Chain A
Amino acid sequence: MSLTLLEKFHDPDLCKGLLDKLHSLVDREFRFMEVCGTHTVAIFQSGLRSLLPEKIVHLSGPGCPVCVTHESEVNAFIDLAGRDDVIVATFGDLMRVPGSKGRSLKKAQADGAKVAVVYSPPDALKLAADHPDKTVVFLGVGFETTAPAVAGTLLMAREQGLKNFKVLSFHKLVPPALGALMTDPEVNIDAFVMPGHVSAIIGLEPYRPVAEVFGKSAAVTGFEPVDILGSLVFLVEAWKSGEPKVANLYPRIVRDGGNAKARAVMEQVFRTSDALWRGIGLIPGSGLEMRDEFEDHDAKKAFGIEIVESPALPGCRCGDVLKGKLRPDQCPLFKKACTPASPVGPCMVSTEGSCAAYFKYSMD
């Protein structure tokens, strides 16, 4: 029976060969960071976690957009949702994220806030066209993966003259966060599994300093079991060779140069700014704010939103989890005060969050 292309990336025989190779190669502890939460989930979901060498330590990085959204930003969403003249449009996974007082959009909705879950930014634009008496604010959360689609939608809004469509941009950029991680003396990582989706936009160039400045290897890879195993074999071999490398192991989706058109749209609408990351703090040049030409659609300007940095939630160790300093199940709140039903921190809320993945999939 012939396998489809996608089936080949799940092929048990192919995986077994890669697993055997990995077991024969791994003779010391390797600390790998999956920058993107989707990789963490994929490792659990496919059952790979129970098959990988025990000496491979998986650390989840700051690549889950929900997890790194700062409490202060969540507070801003919730305040905005409370306005009578606003409909907040958002992707579903922000609904349960708690702000600094434990409130979430889900709870605000139950209190009467108008919150619409949408599947894409253009859905939010349609909502604005359908509700001319309200201002529809799309919550711009996400990395380079989603920012171009939001930028494209803003261009459409301008074309259509829909001034009641606005974006609250809390977009974040992955490379500056990697820089912040690698300069943190407490962070101990041997190599990085890089996010496939983000890389499809930014390409490989922004990752070069990982090898050239910090001496670590990085593999851009996909989310199927063969992709993940292939990247782990590559990273172990690269470590053993003593020559740090940055490689594109996801050429079916990622071009080395990324997607120049998407970057151009993103750059037309946004400019870089400093941004607050949950658990990490302020990272210079790691955010995207709207350019002045688009101020008609800028929710920050329209509603005078200023981010007031609020303190972290008491006891929440999401920041340490995001930096790979702590495994989710080592957090004192895990499965006790913090569960998906009553999440203390965002790593337990997001479907891509590592705490949620441990809770949902780990047999321990």
Chain B
Amino acid sequence: MSDKVLLDYGSGGRASQRLISELFLKHFANPELDRLNDAARLELDGPLAVSTDSFTVDPIFFPGGDIGCLAVHGTVNDVAMLGAEPLYLTCGYIIEEGLPMEDLERIVVSMGAAARHAGVRIVTGDTKVVPRGTVDKIFINTTGIGRIVADPMPSGDRAAPGDAVLISGTMGDHGLTILGTREGLSFEAAVQSDCASLNHLLLKLVREIPSVHVLRDPTRGGLATTLNEIAISSGAGIEVQEKSVPVRAEVSGGCSVLGLDPLYLANEGKFICILPEADAEKALEIMRADELGGDACRIGSVTEQNPGKVSLVTPLGGKRLLNMLEGEQLPRIC
């Protein structure tokens, strides 16, 4: 194959076949995909969870991951947040003409490894190559399908007064890593993306604690925006203790320099769990026993007060609104 992705590779002819057989099949191999039919035949029964997401991250390689593994983690996590076991993924690649083949291979290898680690099969896919300048290097879409295990299913509208609000670890690592890498900023200590598939931990959690009311991953918009979505859909209030929210020192330092708030930064390997107070300790034990939940902690409660709003109790004991993010966070003048 050429050392760069050419428009020929998206032509549907021999070049496309070579790309598929020598690259994608090599790293994604599984019985459903290997048949190379127009569609994959799947055996599924019971309630299903389906989620789709498109990944357009810049830069495509960053400390802690790349666009390939992110495209697996992101969709696997979205499916798993319904208390589901993710089983299958589809993937669509839109590649800019001229992308180094080496970069594409690195992304495909990473995606294959992430899928195997998460225990999901990439069963069908599509590759398009578009002229230089019409996309930025590479975009990947993934759709995930999973079998819902939890009954009743966790859902954002089930947060109820008296529930505890837990998170699985530190906030803002992914968002600051991407921003820092994009802008060529170096922070005092290395900041790394937390991107990871959480499905194994989440399945263990919902199997052992059927009372889990809400599972959500605070991706774009961060913790603050996701909690607001939950408060709005459940009609309950959420009160967060600021000092309980774990943020790495290097992340809070980087945010301070850039005028950003870590509570609004994206996470790709963390989740929020809301469940009855009585089961909170057990949930934390399960989370902390897993390497992806080592920093799990309780950050607040669901309340009857301030319905539909999220309030933050500051370390001084003052209370303020923790509002939803409007647009993207932008660096300030001074």
* A positions within 8 Å CB-CB of B: 10, 12, 15-16, 38, 44-51, 65-66, 91-96, 117, 119, 141-143, 145-146, 197, 225, 339-341, 350-352, 359-363
Inter-chain CA distance A142–B333, complex, in Å, is: 7
Contact partner of B318 among A48, A96, A119, A145, CB < 8 A? Answer: A48
Whether B313 pairs with A92 at a CB distance below 8 angstroms is no
Q: Which 5 A-B pairs have the closest CB atoms?
A: A47-B318, A92-B330, A47-B314, A340-B326, A50-B318
Whether A359 pairs with B323 at a CB distance below 8 angstroms is yes
15 contacts between A and B (CB under 8 A): A38-B334, A45-B314, A46-B314, A50-B318, A50-B319, A51-B318, A91-B332, A95-B330, A119-B185, A142-B333, A145-B334, A351-B259, A359-B323, A361-B323, A363-B320
Does B331 interact with chain A (Cβ within 8 Å)? Answer: yes
Point out the residues of chain A lying under 8 angstroms from B334, CB to CB: 38, 65, 142-143, 145-146, 197
Point out the residues of chain B lying under 8 angstroms from A47, CB to CB: 242, 312-314, 316-320
Whether B320 pairs with A340 at a CB distance below 8 angstroms is no
Size of the B side of the interface (Cβ < 8 Å), in residues, is: 26
User: Whole-angstrom distance from the CB of A179 to the nearest CB of chain B?
Assistant: 22
Does B99 interact with chain A (Cβ within 8 Å)? Answer: no
Most interface-central of A10, A119, A142, A352 (chain B CB within 10 A): A119
Most interface-central of A12, A141, A146, A341 (chain B CB within 10 A): A12
Whether B331 pairs with A92 at a CB distance below 8 angstroms is yes
Whether A352 pairs with B319 at a CB distance below 8 angstroms is no
Known: A47-B313, A119-B183, A340-B327. A361 touches B320 (CB 8 A): yes
Point out the residues of chain B lying under 8 angstroms from A145, CB to CB: 334
Known: A46-B314, A363-B306. A93 touches B330 (CB 8 A): yes
Does B321 interact with chain A (Cβ within 8 Å)? Answer: yes
Point out the residues of chain A lying under 8 angstroms from B317, CB to CB: 12, 47, 51
Contact partner of A363 among B185, B242, B259, B311, CB < 8 A? Answer: B311
Does B31 interact with chain A (Cβ within 8 Å)? Answer: no
User: Whole-angstrom distance from the CB of B228 to the nearest CB of chain A?
Assistant: 12
Whether A49 pairs with B318 at a CB distance below 8 angstroms is yes
User: Whole-angstrom distance from the CB of A109 to the nearest CB of chain B?
Assistant: 12
User: Whole-angstrom distance from the CB of B195 to the nearest CB of chain A?
Assistant: 24
Whether A12 pairs with B316 at a CB distance below 8 angstroms is yes
Does B309 interact with chain A (Cβ within 8 Å)? Answer: yes
Whether A12 pairs with B315 at a CB distance below 8 angstroms is yes
Inter-chain CA distance A362–B320, complex, in Å, is: 6
Inter-chain CA distance A362–B309, complex, in Å, is: 11
